[in-house]
Structure 1
Amino acid sequence: MTRHPQTGAPVVPWNRQRLRSNNEWLLLELLRTGGGSSRAQLARDTGLSKPTVSAALAELERAGLVREAGLVAPERGRTAVLYEVEPGAGHVLGVDIGRARLRVAVADLAGTVVARRSVANRGRTADAVADAVVAAAREAIEEAGLTAGDVVHAVIGTPGVWDEQRRGVRFATSLPGWGRPGLFDRIGAALGTEVSVANDANLAALGEYTLGAGRGSRMFAYLLVGTGLGVGVVRDGELLLGAHGALGEIGLVPLPPLPPRPGEEGEERGPRTIEQEAAAGAVVRAALDLGMEGTAGRVTAQRVFERARAGDAAARQAVLGEAERLAYAVAVLSAVVDPDVVVLGGGLGASADLLLEPLEQALHRLTPLRPALAASLLGEDAVLLGAVSTAVETARPEVFERRTAGLRR
């Protein structure tokens, strides 16, 4: 199916049917973006004649794409019927795959979440993680009162960069075995729906730009810090991907080697990356090295921040060190992208109350390029809501074509 490169609308060979289809799509999009409207108002807004608008609305109503939303009594003239988009005309699935948790949401075409699941990621193999995603998705679909056939499209957010040729992700270092080709095709086949795959930081950036702290920004960056580290960049509403989809993989940037620890012999330690030194595991290692009580494998980054709030000196020092390392990441990002806002999100983003002030101070010491810093407003839902939003954008023209084509056959 061919689509218009800007609007995403289905494109069919030129004929009278195409003209009607374009009119219907135009009205549907106007109702979607502008809310409920009368036939007379739609005619004024589009320049179409009232009979054309009435005929197109009748077809859209027959297709289950619009519905009557009530009546409005103008100051003059007859009472008018208001029309609005039917959000239940189709449903989508959003998935957020993290090392610690798997999150799934079913939403209608308005992006309203109607069912969701959040489960611990206990998969020891890539296949086990894929199976857990499918199980959680099926539970959410059933809870929503739907069947798998009602889901038009699914978008999966994952660490790493999607490689379309090999049908797998690259650079998903936090999920061993996750880069194996065929895993996402397996998920799609098990769910019986078309699946798209996107980087989790990119989806979080879209979610935060649309619904959160990035609204109104010209050049917006979302810094996702959890078990891994990545960046999503949105410019004037458009996600920037780079030539190979790897724009924002700042966690891969190498750092200078460290000298040997005191009392150790040997060469410099390295190589290291920003992700190794600034992701959640690094905070835990730093806190334990500085003397915080606990043992590796049992202390979490969340625990370190809790202890820092309680006044634990070692934990507070570890948090300050994390702010210094994140400032280096933001300095690199600022030199390359020059964002006006950088939002701190991901698991460590939940501790922005402790991180933002020392991060800003460290950034001032490092570089004259200083974007505004902000905490995520969407929190742990940023990736999931970005996946839902992306799935809706993909599904809307697909639902339109399916339902209107069915009437015209």
Structure 2
Amino acid sequence: MDELPWNRQRLRSNNEWLLLEQLRTAGPCSRAQLARDTGLSKPTVSSALAALRQHGLVREVGTVAPGRGRTAVLYEPDPTAGYVLGIDVGRARLRIAVADMSGKVLSRKDVANRARTATSLAEVVAGAVNETLAAVDVPPERVVHAVLGSPGVFDPEDGRVHYAVNLPGWGRAGLLAEIRERLGGPELSMHNDANLAALGEYAFGAGRDSRLFVYVLVGTGLGVGIVSHGELFTGAHGAAGEVGFLPAAFGDPAAGSSRRGALEEAVSADAVVRAARERGMSGRLTAKRVFDAARAGDPIAVTVVREEGERIALVVAAVTAVLDPDVIVVGGGLGGSADLLLDQVRAALQRTTPLRPAVSPSELGDDAVLLGAIATALRVARPQVFDRRTPTGR
């Protein structure tokens, strides 16, 4: 008999969570519709909705007149129950966004990354976050969870980011704790940028509804994110998809195979610029300028882009042979030139492998990592908000 009150409380809490998730997935509903959809009785639904309203987790959003019946009140999850942050740290740019519990982005800020040390980069991140929150009057303590995406793999055992070769000093111990302290409020977790891009594309873009989806991020670096049935596959140590560390099969084998990150050096924005210079292009070159020149018909740029497409195709072919995905999305900085690259990728795949995954451009572009961070933060924050606001949680 001592456990009976606890069981009743737990049952009520489970019913409240069930209704909250139903409203989140189905959209605004009346009490009668919720009862039909969940199988709960109308009195149970009414009681649970009253509790959720009291805790600030749902709100009335309007009314509907179902035929000849009485006007029914519609309910939805209250998006102001909490907030989340997404932070995308790249070598060239930082992107920050704050979203409410519905996932709606309320404010965002993009700034150039001119930091030359990990400490100065942490300061820039904290400053950009504070400005983003201030723009919509969200105090830091209202942010439930923040997710930071960057190159490399964060190891919670030693508190370091490993393999982030493009961010000097980013791997020093205590960096995540320092950023967390500077933010002054939310819990903070760090994730690999390709993994977050894959989750963003799966949730909002070209990876929707795929069974096994792979995101190939080609930009300053090279990485792969793998999503199987909606869940990230990260490997035993979080480094699954770090294909940039594979030996390169291009150019001088002796020069490439002995260097860590050889494939990343051969398939990246820097590789495009380097190849263009070696073939005679001059001036202040960037990968974007090389691709723009290829669109304009410059013969050197056309050759460089064709060869880059062939190299990306070999990456895609290797990933396909190991994982057998149904969809591969090419994104990142070079993914923005998919109009030029993907024809080369598909043609090279025809020559190199009998496997034929669908190869698509990113639908989210430069926002893939940021939106993946928001989606990941929401998955953490929503149950936390529920647990904090209800007497027993789930």
**1:357: which partner in 2?**
343
- The TM-score normalised by the length of structure 1 is 0.91
Where does residue 96 of structure 2 map in the other structure?
A: 104
Q: Contact 1:340–1:372 at 8 Å: present in 2 too? A: yes
Query: In the alignment, which residue of structure 1 is the partner of 2:238?
Result: 245
Change in Cα spacing, 1:28 to 1:303, as seen in structure 2 (3 Å) is same
Q: Structure 2 CA distance, aligned partners of 1:399 and 1:98?
A: 30
2:125 maps to what in 1?
133
Kept after mapping to 2: 8 A contact 1:292/1:312: no
1:271 matched residue in structure 2: 258
Instruction: Kindly state the Cα deviation for residue 268 of structure 1 after the two structures are TM-superposed.
Output: 5.6
Amino acid in structure 2 at the alignment position of 1:88: T
Q: Which runs of 5+ in 2 are unaligned?
A: none
- Counterpart of 2:215 in structure 1 is 222
Contact 2:13/2:392 (<8 A) preserved: no
CA contact under 8 A between 1:257 and 1:270: conserved in structure 2?
A: no
Which of 43-52 and 280-289 deviates more? Answer: 43-52
Equivalent residue number for residue 85 of structure 1: 77
Say whether the 8 Å CA contact 2:10–2:392 is kept in structure 1.
Answer: no
Aligned to 1:7: none
In the TM superposition, what whole-angstrom CA distance separates every residue of 1:231-254 from its partner, at most 9, and x where no partner exists?
Answer: 111112111111111111111111
Label 1:227 to 1:257 Cα distance change in 2 as closer, same or farther (>3 A). closer
Q: How many residues align?
A: 386
Distance 1:373 1:269, change over 3 A: closer
Please state if 1:385 is matched with 2:377. no
**1:259, distance to aligned residue in structure 2 (A):** 4.1
Partners of 1:52 and 1:164 in 2: CA distance: 43
Aligned mates of 1:371, 1:322 — CA distance in 2: 19
1:169-184 superposed matches below 5 A: 169-184=161-176
Give the one of 219, 244, 248 matched to 1:255: 248
Q: Distance in 2 between matches of 1:185 and 1:110?
A: 28
Give the whole-Å Cα distance in 2 for the aligned partners of 1:277 and 1:95.
28
Please give the alpha-carbon distance, in whole angstroms, between the structure 1 residues aligned to 2:214 and 2:379: 21
Tell me which residue corresponds to 1:316. 302
State the partner residue of 2:20. 28
Greater mean alpha carbon deviation, residues 72-81 or residues 335-344: 72-81
| Secondary structure of 2:137's aligned partner | coil
Distance of 1:362 and 1:167 partners within structure 2 = 41
Secondary structure at the residue paired with 1:127? Answer: helix
- What is the distance in 1 between the residues matched to 2:250 and 2:46? 70
Determine which of 25, 29, 54 is the counterpart of 1:62: 54
State the alpha-carbon separation in 1 of the partners of residues 16 and 198 from structure 2.
32
Alpha-carbon distance change, 17 to 340 in structure 1, aligned in 2, over 3 angstroms: same
Measure, in 1, the Cα distance between the counterparts of 2:271 and 2:98.
Answer: 34
Taking the aligned partners of 1:259 and 1:31, their CA distance within structure 2 comes to 58
TM-score between the two structures when normalised by the length of structure 2:
0.95
TM-superposed CA distance for 1:111, in Å, is 0.6
1:192-203 to structure 2, matched below 5 A, reads: 192-203=185-196
Q: Distance in 2 between matches of 1:50 and 1:383?
A: 42
Letter paired with 1:318: V
Q: Secondary structure at the match of 2:390?
A: helix
| Counterpart in the other structure of 1:52 | 44
**CA deviation string 1:352-386 (max 9, x = no partner):** 01100011111222222231111101000000000
